[in-house]
Amino acid sequence: MILKKYITYIFFLFILNSCVRDNSAGNQQVINRFIGYSENQLLDRFGPPTQVYKKDDGGKIMSWVFSGIAPSNSTEYNAFTGRWSNVGGSASYSCGFNFYLDKNKIVTSASPTGSSSSCKFN
């Protein structure tokens, strides 16, 4: 009887683990498409940033953060389209992206932020 419960427990852990996805590599690929964009192009695309940090070298870091309660246990929020997938239940999410601009206001690099399993950019 104990062995049966143990096997059932392991099975459910395996199923739960397979539901958690790490989207960080894919998210990095997606936001790298914006390297070379100007500050104005970012603003046109995403609207006002959540936060801006001005660097001493004349560059800046612009951050967009998305957070709240998602309408699903295994929800993926697409920050670029503002759409949800896998509806059912609820879960909190927090994710976003940082763009690093040089003194000419051109994106030189980018990085995803927050939980890579709660948001998928495409």
pLDDT tens-place string over residues 8-23: 334 333 333 334 445 6
Q: Is residue 90 in some structural domain?
A: yes
Residue pLDDT, tens place only, 65-74: 887 765 555 5
Residue 90 to residues 11, 12, 52, 58, 66, Cα–Cα distance (Å): 23, 20, 30, 42, 16
Range of the domain at 64: 22-114
Tokens standing for 24? Answer: 């960080």
Q: In whole angstroms, what is the distance from residue 111 CA to residue 98 CA? A: 5
pLDDT tier at 27 (50, 70, 90 boundaries)? confident
Tokens standing for 94? Answer: 């927090």
Region 33-41 average pLDDT:
96
Region 93-101 average pLDDT:
86
pLDDT tier at 112 (50, 70, 90 boundaries)? confident
Q: Is residue 15 in some structural domain?
A: no
**Cβ atoms of 94 and 117 closer than 8 Å:** no
Q: Is residue 12 in some structural domain?
A: no
Q: In whole angstroms, what is the distance from residue 88 CA to residue 29 CA? A: 28
Residue pLDDT, tens place only, 47-70: 999 999 999 999 999 999 887 765
pLDDT of residue 122: 65
Number of structural domains, the chain?
1
Q: Is residue 36 in some structural domain?
A: yes
Q: Is residue 3 in some structural domain?
A: no
Q: Is residue 10 in some structural domain?
A: no
